[in-house]
């Protein structure tokens, strides 16, 4: 007991000399990032502390920043806590988007781009998903309009319901699938010692950026050719699937071979399900709708011929 | 809305604010939007009357005037209202989280007032639609909507862009672009029964 007291007293002393603030508050603040790292339940990684130091050092690192120490440890009900997630510049966002478009084997997307600033939360999941929702809804509307352009019987309606459905699907995918994946990785992490483990926000981030490729794909889906659409699906799936696979392969590599492969296959399969589902639901198939119109015009000409 | 007004008014008088003064303030802001200059008037004396009027007008014009709504594809009044206000709040939150130094209601005020060009476009489109439909009709509407869309963007960025540090300006402006693009799309695809 006496030894413990001595240790505590020494810590107290260090805090007082180096921080010169309210000692109790500062000791609590120092311990907070270690004990309750945000969104990282489980054994706190040793690298977490280095990241904190790195981030604190990246600011105008006076002693005052280090002394305050509040930047990373505001309680979650304050505004500043969420502001730390948006600490990103325009060029960083563009770099990450480029990284998601050009998967290079060997370069881990997360490690390269996101690990240096893991608190990315604002741009990628939310605004990319929002853009994707509207891109799909608008392109679907446009393509239906173009397909039915010549028909007299078709009255164009902007199908507004589809926007809300699209929003639900895409946001659910972008948040629930990473949640499930993260839970699964954490569970495997407890069984097998993995070298690499991702936090929930990083997985959300990777998924958000991987959905970016679908924005130009959705716009190009306006072209009412079945072959073109399926080629686009393949290309988009190839790119984003490979980015996701290469990101998550190190996380499951250490595991049982079959479990690792099953994980990767599931990830890619869910991605494909999303893209094919969106294509099927929002975009009418071009050939199938022309058949009724040709029969209709045929009947009309036959009727006209009979009546004359 | 007396407590919401922060512009210098009569200090401590008991008489209610005259309606004309509020109307004049709203009208002045409309002029500021139509001729966007870098001035602080819109930011300082924010009020939400103007955006409310504009939003209600837009939603009334955009909704299906259909009692028979079996082919109801367009947005309802409530949907337009929700999109405009929810979109404006989200953009404001985004801009504040990125570290902008503009207050919440100021940003809402600016975004709301800059819907004015698009409301004008909606009026023009409705008038144009009274003529016979056809590709020319559509071209005219498209042109009007594009011009008004550009005007809205220019007006709102003139006010909002200064509040962000330069390395994040694009990140804060892009949601504004998306917001007005969606509203323009709703206006353009409006077809009366």
- Which residue of A90, A124, A133 is the best one to mutate when testing the B interface, meaning the one whose CB has the most B CBs within 10 A? A90
Minimum Cα–Cα distance from A84: chain B residue: B97
Residues of chain B with pLDDT under 70: 1-16, 36-43, 64-75, 192-193
Minimum Cα–Cα distance from B175: chain A residue: A127
Cross-chain residue pair B74–A82, CB shorter than 8 Å = no
Q: Does A153 touch chain B (CB under 8 A)?
A: no
- Which residue of A82, A89, A171 is the best one to mutate when testing the B interface, meaning the one whose CB has the most B CBs within 10 A? A89
Instruction: Report which of residues A157 and A220 the model is more confident about.
Output: A220
CA distance B181 to chain A (A): 10
Per-domain residue ranges of chain A: 79-283
CA distance A72 to chain B (A): 15
Cross-chain residue pair A127–B181, CB shorter than 8 Å = no
Secondary structure, 3-state, chain A: CHHHHHHHHHHHHHHHHHHCCCHHHHHHHHHHHHHCCCCCCCCCCHHHHHHHHHHHHHCCCCHHHHHHCCCCCCCCCCHHHHHCCECCCHHHHHHHHHHHHCCCCCCCHHHHHHCCCCCECHHHHHHHHHHHHHHHHHHHHHHHHHHCCCCCCCCCCCCCHHHHHHHHHHHHHHHHHHHHHHHHHHHHHHHCCCCCCCCHHHHHHHHHHHHHHHHHHHHHCCCCCHHHHHHHHHHHHHHHHHHHHHHHHHHHCCCCHHHHHHHHHHHHHHHHHHHHHHHHHHCCCHHHHHHHHHHHHHHHHHHHHHHC
Cross-chain residue pair B171–A93, CB shorter than 8 Å = yes
Mind listing the pLDDT tens digit for each residue in A58-72?
444 444 434 433 344
- ipTM of the modeled complex: 0.77
Q: Which of B79, B98, B185 sits opposite A86 (nearest CB)?
A: B98
CA distance A7 to chain B (A): 41
CA distance B123 to chain A (A): 19
**Residues A181-202, mean pLDDT to the nearest whole number:** 75
The pLDDT score that the predictor gives to residue A59 is 42
Cross-chain residue pair B74–A141, CB shorter than 8 Å = no
Q: Does A93 touch chain B (CB under 8 A)?
A: yes
Per-domain residue ranges of chain B: 46-61+75-188
The pLDDT score that the predictor gives to residue A185 is 81
Residue A39 pLDDT > 50: no
Q: How confident is the model at residue A282 (pLDDT cuts 50, 70, 90)?
A: confident
**Residues A139-163, mean pLDDT to the nearest whole number:** 72
The pLDDT score that the predictor gives to residue B146 is 92
Q: Which residues of B touch A155 (CB under 8 A)?
A: 71, 191
CA distance A306 to chain B (A): 32
Mind listing the pLDDT tens digit for each residue in A214-263?
888 888 888 878 888 888 888 888 888 888 877 777 777 777 778 778 88
């Amino acid at each position: 007991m006496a030894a413990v007291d001595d240790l505590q007293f020494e810590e107290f002393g260090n805090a007082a000399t180096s921080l010169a603030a309210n000692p109790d508050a500062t000791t609590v603040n120092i311990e907070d990032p270690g004990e309750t790292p945000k969104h990282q339940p489980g054994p706190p990684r040793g690298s977490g502390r280095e990241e904190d130091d790195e981030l604190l050092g990246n600011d105008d690192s006076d002693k005052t920043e280090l002394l305050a120490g509040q930047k990373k440890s505001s309680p979650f009900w304050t505004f500043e806590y969420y502001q730390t997630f948006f600490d990103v510049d325009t060029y960083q966002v563009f770099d990450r988007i480029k990284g998601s478009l050009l998967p290079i084997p060997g370069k881990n997307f997360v490690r390269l781009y996101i690990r240096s600033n893991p608190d990315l939360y604002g741009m990628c999941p939310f605004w990319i998903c929002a853009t994707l929702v509207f891109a799909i809804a608008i392109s679907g509307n446009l393509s239906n309009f173009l397909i039915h352009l010549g028909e007299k019987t078709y009255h164009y309606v902007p199908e507004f319901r589809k926007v809300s459905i699209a929003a639900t699907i895409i946001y659910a995918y972008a948040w629930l699938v990473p949640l499930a994946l993260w839970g699964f990785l954490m569970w495997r992490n407890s069984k097998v010692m993995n070298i690499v483990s991702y936090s929930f926000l990083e997985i959300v981030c990777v998924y958000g950026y991987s959905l970016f490729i679908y924005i130009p794909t959705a716009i190009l889906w306006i072209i009412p050719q079945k072959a073109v659409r399926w080629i686009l699906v393949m290309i988009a799936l190839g790119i984003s699937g490979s980015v996701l696979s290469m990101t998550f392969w190190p996380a499951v590599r250490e595991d049982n071979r079959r479990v690792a492969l099953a994980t990767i296959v599931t990830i890619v399969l869910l991605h494909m399900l999303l893209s094919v589902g969106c294509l099927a639901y929002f975009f009418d198939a071009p050939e199938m709708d022309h058949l009724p119109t040709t029969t209709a015009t045929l009947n009309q000409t036959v009727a006209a011929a009979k009546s004359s | 809305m007396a407590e919401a007004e922060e512009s210098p008014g009569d200090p401590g008088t008991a008489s209610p604010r005259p309606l004309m003064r509020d109307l004049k303030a709203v009208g002045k802001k409309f002029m500021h939007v139509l001729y966007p200059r870098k001035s602080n008037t819109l930011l300082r004396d924010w009020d939400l009357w103007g955006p409310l009027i504009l939003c209600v007008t837009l939603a009334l014009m955009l909704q299906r005037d259909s009692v028979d709504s079996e082919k109801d594809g367009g947005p309802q009044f409530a949907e337009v209202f929700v999109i405009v206000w929810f979109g404006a709040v989200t953009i404001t939150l985004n801009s504040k989280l990125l570290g902008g130094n503009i207050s919440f209601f100021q940003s809402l005020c600016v975004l709301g007032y800059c819907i004015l060009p698009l409301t004008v476009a909606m009026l023009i489109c409705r008038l144009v639609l009274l003529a016979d439909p056809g590709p020319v009709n559509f071209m005219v509407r498209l042109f009007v909507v594009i011009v008004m869309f550009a005007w809205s963007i220019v007006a709102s960025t003139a006010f909002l862009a200064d509040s962000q540090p330069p390395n994040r300006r694009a990140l804060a402006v892009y949601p504004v672009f998306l917001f007005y693009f969606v509203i323009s799309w709703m206006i353009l695809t409006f077809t009366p029964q």
